Amino acid sequence: MRLLPPALCSSPGRAWLGGVTPGLSVKAPMEMGSSSTEKFYRIPEGKGPHSVGCTDLMTENAVEGSFLRLYYPSCNATDNEEAPWIPDKEYYQGLSDFLNMYRVVGERLFQYYVGSVTCPAKSNAAFKPGEKYPLLVFSHGLGAFRTIYSAICIEMASQGFIVAAVEHRDESASATYYCKKRSISERQEESTSNMEKEWIYYRKLKTGEEERCLRHKQVQQRAQECIKALNLILKINSGEEVMNVLNSNFDWNSLKDSVDTSRIAVMGHSFGGATVIESLSKEIRFRCGIALDAWMLPVGDDIYQNSVQQPLLFINSEKFQWADNILKMKKLSSNDTNKKMITIKGSVHQSFPDFTFVSGGIIGRFFKLKGEIDPNEAIDISNHASLAFLQKHLSLKKDFDKWDSLVDGIGPNVIPGTNIDLSPAELE
């Protein structure tokens, strides 16, 4: 087994996707010392009343287009297969780059261990009509991509949200792509589609490059991509024809008049948490935001000057945060009762992405994919607090208010505010 490079193990100032390693498995042997019986690990299904479908949408034959995975309440789709979790081998290559592994090694290891993993949402299942659903735009973390927060997105969809999980093209994803038309000569040589994928991989910092400058530039692009995704879904909702350059048998016309356009929120993890803040400052149609273990370095200084008026919930892990980062959150939320912060006890930065669910206990803790808390309990706390917050600030007529206490940090394995000692930092 290959150990992580030291730079990836646990630097508090960096919002890593995390210790993604060859120890991941959807069908992994039980831990050492136990019998050889196989134990199965699986991304959790949604717990709400709706079945969940998902489909991918890409517009325009250019990098400027939108790319997202849509999770949505679906009709029961017994004939539809579950969606692949990581849909292309190039994502394994991108993860290998991000983790400083040789591509040929990383691709084989990822393919072997997680190549068969699916997410519990039916691919291209028929959309469930009959009501207007609130819309949630989701932003992934550094080194991640649109598919690996499926546990969160599926839960939200099962509870009656349409979720647009954006794949960012700012070179912060491990890998992403856009489709471009093949040349005439290429089309003649190959009897395949006239489209081909142009891949964009994670950009590492250059020698001597100042990270904050790069990340601030990226977070501004990310916010624009979130707003672009919002505009795209609302365009579809209005009945306007949208061309999906990806092959899909999903009926996008079924989404017409399905979005509650007065109830829209934005959510994200780590670098995606910073993207939430930037998006709120730029787009008033986002009525509130949820930042999961936010990495505050990319947030511009101007944002702290009362430019985020909407309610905002910070849900932090116990092990990732540090004083300077927390103080920036507090600076943003001071004297505003609609801005809340809670911390999930025993959790780590990787308690939010899906990798925590497809790794065994010893492997997961060694590579910091799991904390001391059970991953399912941690994600339930996060999801329940999010739903209660969304009900309050989107004025939803649901029963999510039964989890209101979590938003105040009251309950098992959750505390209000932070576990970080801020007194030395505040004196600086």
Residues annotated catalytic, as ranges = 270, 293, 349
Count of residues making up the chain: 428
Distances, alpha carbon 421 to alpha carbons 318, 332, 361, 424, in Å: 12, 18, 29, 8
Distance from C-alpha of 355 to C-alpha of 361, rounded to nearest angstrom: 12
Q: What is the CA radius of gyration of the chain?
A: 21
Q: Are 49 and 158 spatial neighbours (Cβ–Cβ below 8 Å)? A: yes
Q: Are 383 and 406 spatial neighbours (Cβ–Cβ below 8 Å)? A: no
Tokens representing 329? 């959150």
Give kind and range of the element (H or E) at residue 312. strand 312-317
Name residues whose C-beta falls within 8 Å of residue 387's C-beta, 6 or more positions apart in sequence: 156, 159, 398, 400, 403
Residue with tokens 């700012």: 170
Kind of pairing, strands 312-317 and 339-344? parallel
Distance from C-alpha of 389 to C-alpha of 136, rounded to nearest angstrom: 13
Distance from C-alpha of 130 to C-alpha of 256, rounded to nearest angstrom: 11
Distances, alpha carbon 412 to alpha carbons 142, 236, 343, 355, 382, in Å: 30, 41, 11, 24, 12
Q: Are 136 and 387 spatial neighbours (Cβ–Cβ below 8 Å)? A: no
